[in-house]
Structure 1
Amino acid sequence: MTGRIHSIETMGTVDGPGMRMVVFLQGCPMRCAYCHNPDTWNETSDDAKFMTVEELWDQYERNRQFYTNGGITVTGGEALMQIDFVTELFTYFRERNVHTCLDTSGICFDPHQEVAYRKLLSVTSLVILDIKEIDPDKHLWLTGKPLEPILGFARLTADVGVPIWVRHVVVPTITDNADHHYRLGFFLGSLKNLQAVDCLPYHVMGTAKYKELGLTYRLEGIPAASKDIAAKATRTVVEGIKAYRRHWWSPIKTQHQS
């Protein structure tokens, strides 16, 4: 089996614990207004490279000495668009005692295909889940896709018991909403497998790619968010978690503290 690979980062430090090989897959159904990798959207892009599991293993092996406390992370695009390939890849790496991390939006989740998702999660060491917005209408506007599949996938990770980190990007005037952050936390409080939550500041570093690709950048003129705004959002999310877990809450770390 081969996967459609957009690119590979050999020394990633922010996509899971430790030093990691990060594999970016080609193709994504979401059209997030602030996406900084629009070049990964097109599933059939001629720029994609087809690689087998064994070829990715060979590349991992060349740098394995640096991955002592890390492993492999698969992201995108959207990793779940190639669920069969990722399952085979993670199975191969887990059999060789490598930590596997799935970085996903969860948007492809289909409860009618739950068996396939459970199979993938059975060989996944950690899920990093990006929740763009907790309000369904705002989520649809922001991403072009519904919210419910993402929440359904989050619930499945809890049912399976795979550790999960949640990320949320704070965009001034768009997702910088304390009520929504509290509601996000209230939902996350129901996930017993939640290990970390981190609100990240919106940046504009990817806007040049839109011009190169001839795409309209929908957030033109929106300023980058400060670290203080993101930190405040994280605190509000944690307040929501505490509200849900009023009687049995345990401390939730931010990703940067994990």
Structure 2
Amino acid sequence: MPASEAILNSLAANAAGDQDFLAPAARVKGNGTAGLIEMTDLEHADRLRRMREGTLGSLHSWELVTAVDGPGIRMTIFLAGCGLRCLYCHNPDTFQMRDGEPVEVDDLLRRIKRYRKTLNASGGGITISGGEAMMQPRFVAKLLEGAKELGVHTCVDTSGFLGRNVTEAMLDNIDLVLLDVKAGIPELYKKVTSGDLQPTIDFGDRLAERGIETWIRFVLVPGLTDSEENVEAVAQIVEKWPNVSRVEVLPFHQMGRDKWKTLGLKYELNDTQPPDKELIERTREIFRSHGLTVY
């Protein structure tokens, strides 16, 4: 039995019913680009043309997970490339699009079709993540359209920073969005990500107008994002969106520290410890006080 099939069977045994959010440490090991045809022999010009068309994407990896990237068993697709530089990023190897492997959208859809019965039976589907998924909007658009034609639930995990790249047609094919609100104070957002907060708010407003189910993700980093002022600011932004069905408070961890070192990148949170249970619960209570369902 292939390793991916064994993982799928294991996940299926644990996917019944709603489950609490599991920290990233509970992920199974990703499959890289296993099982997919890597188009490494394409000429540079042809590769760029096909990426512009959306028939070719830059893929970091894919994996099968449960209770992490949306409901049920998910096939999570990690695309390469990100416009932000979050201080706590645990996948800095997804920063550059050129570091991914070129993969055809049709090949990825064939892989989704292979698993769709189990995905659907568990109430799961696909989740497109990154890096930042919207660095490759045309590829994502074709992937979403193809998945919906297969009858598979679709989810996009995004910071919303490139929400302007999401067309109305793409929104038609999205069932769920995992929206990462990294800070609620503009100056702090800039410090955490190097980007601006407003695009995330604008994208959240669009999702609310369309009534697309949204789960908010907030990474709790001691000494960085954990102040009551910041958590209150995030909650005040989120409470305005009636389509938000849950908020996930994600405890900071050091699983990506070695990657930063290997890549020769400066890692500013080297001495930061994960939040304790008391801090996590206090943070959750702030969100709950705004009428939000929190995990």
TM-score normalized by structure 1?
0.88
1:6-55 superposed Cα distances (whole Å, 9 cap, x missing partner)? 1010334300100010000000010000000000001212xx12222221
Instruction: Look up the match of 1:81.
Output: 135
Off by >3 Å, runs of 4+ in structure 1: none
Query: Is the CA contact (8 Å cut-off) linking 1:199 and 1:234 kept in structure 2?
Result: yes
Instruction: Look up the match of 1:162.
Output: 212
Instruction: Look up the match of 2:240.
Output: 190
Instruction: Look up the match of 2:184.
Output: 134
Quick check: 1:174 aligned with 2:174? no
Instruction: Look up the match of 1:247.
Output: none
Instruction: Look up the match of 1:56.
Output: 108
Q: Helix, strand or coil for the counterpart of 1:164? A: strand
Rounded to whole Å, the distance in 1 between the matches of 2:66 and 2:78 is: 11
Map 1:20-169 to 2 at 5 A: 20-45=74-99, 48-67=100-119, 68=121, 69-110=123-164, 116-169=166-219
Quick check: 1:8 aligned with 2:72? no
Quick check: 1:202 aligned with 2:266? no
Amino acid at match of 1:218: E
Compute the displacement of 1:118 (Å): 1.9
Rounded to whole Å, the distance in 1 between the matches of 2:228 and 2:204 is: 22
Q: Helix, strand or coil for the counterpart of 2:136? A: helix
Q: Which runs of 5+ in 2 are unaligned?
A: 1-54
Instruction: Look up the match of 1:254.
Output: 294
Q: Helix, strand or coil for the counterpart of 1:44? A: helix
Amino acid at match of 2:146: Y
Query: Is the CA contact (8 Å cut-off) linking 2:86 and 2:194 kept in structure 1?
Result: yes
**Higher mean displacement: 175-184 or 19-28:** 175-184
Compute the displacement of 1:103 (Å): 0.3
Amino acid at match of 1:131: V
Compute the displacement of 1:181 (Å): 1.1
Rounded to whole Å, the distance in 1 between the matches of 2:161 and 2:217 is: 14
Query: Is the CA contact (8 Å cut-off) linking 2:287 and 2:294 kept in structure 1?
Result: no
Rounded to whole Å, the distance in 2 between the matches of 1:126 and 1:192 is: 14
Query: Is the CA contact (8 Å cut-off) linking 1:199 and 1:231 kept in structure 2?
Result: no
TM-score normalized by structure 2?
0.78
Q: Which has the higher contact order (CA 8 A, sep 6+)?
A: 1
**Higher mean displacement: 1-10 or 18-27:** 1-10
Query: Is the CA contact (8 Å cut-off) linking 2:126 and 2:152 kept in structure 1?
Result: yes
Rounded to whole Å, the distance in 2 between the matches of 1:37 and 1:66 is: 28
Amino acid at match of 2:69: D
Query: Is the CA contact (8 Å cut-off) linking 1:183 and 1:237 kept in structure 2?
Result: no
Instruction: Look up the match of 2:264.
Output: 214
Compute the displacement of 1:215 (Å): 0.8
Amino acid at match of 1:233: T
Amino acid at match of 1:176: D
Amino acid at match of 2:172: S
Compute the displacement of 1:63 (Å): 2.8
1:207-238 superposed Cα distances (whole Å, 9 cap, x missing partner)? 00011111110112111112432232121023
Cα 1:228–1:97 change in 2 (3 A) is farther
Query: Is the CA contact (8 Å cut-off) linking 1:132 and 1:168 kept in structure 2?
Result: yes
Rounded to whole Å, the distance in 1 between the matches of 2:137 and 2:210 is: 17
1:63-89 superposed Cα distances (whole Å, 9 cap, x missing partner)? 334312100000000001111111111
Compute the displacement of 1:204 (Å): 0.7
